[in-house]
Amino acid sequence: MESQNGPVPPSPAQIEKAVYEYPYAKIVQQYLDGWIKTLNSGTVVSTLLSAVATAFFIHIQEKIANNSSPSTMPSTPSSTAPSSQTATTRALLVFAYASIFANCTAAITSFYLANYLLYIPIQISQKMFRQSSVDFNINNLITHINSQIGYADWRMVRIYWQFTSFFGFISVFVELALYGYQFETSRDVKIALGFLTVMGAIPLVASVYIIIQRIRSLLNENPTL
């Protein structure tokens, strides 16, 4: 309905209906809430691991510097800090850097994805409210949600987030194992630390395997979330 001054803006009741009462609104919200909760949890975990990895990295740098100081090294002209580092020490530094970067990246990515999904119900409602409910049924609802999300981009960013998350988790476990192997003097402690690291990494490796299988099925089937 239009007035002489132009189109009549929708009333608050119409706006509320468009946002909250379009067909299958509860299904859409539940569909997205699962991912949003997962992403929010991932943000918290990755942020905590980033802080832990940073603190551990500082400790490792101090430990390596103390072990490489002239008072703890043979007094030979060719003795320098870089040459005194073993392969284990260099690997420890690599995973120390990797754990920080991977967990920070995962935290930022999951935060971005969660905020992005918050706008999807509004986008869906705007289109659904302009069409009759006959045009949308439970069979094509998922397809419509995917089209509003931008499934191709969402899938790639989601895979990237999952990769950085699990790589960040595994890097912390590997970092702990290498630290124990390099600096612990007790053999029993080394064995116990290695056993705990393997036991902690098994669920992560299994999850990576499940993700890989899921990605393969997504590439062979019609895209679904």
Q: CA 193 to CA 180: how far, in whole Å? A: 7
Domain hosting residue 136, numbered range? 23-68+85-220
Residue 18 falls inside a structural domain: no
Tell me the CA distances in angstroms from 49 to 38, 63, 150, 215, one per residue in order.
16, 20, 30, 26
**pLDDT tens-digit series, residues 159-212:** 888 889 888 988 888 888 888 888 877 888 888 887 887 787 777 777 777 767
Say if 117 falls within a structural domain.
yes
Domains held by the chain: number = 1
Amino acid at 87: A
- At 85-138, the pLDDT tens digits run 688 888 889 999 999 999 999 999 998 888 888 777 766 666 655 554 445 555
Q: What is the pTM of this model?
A: 0.67
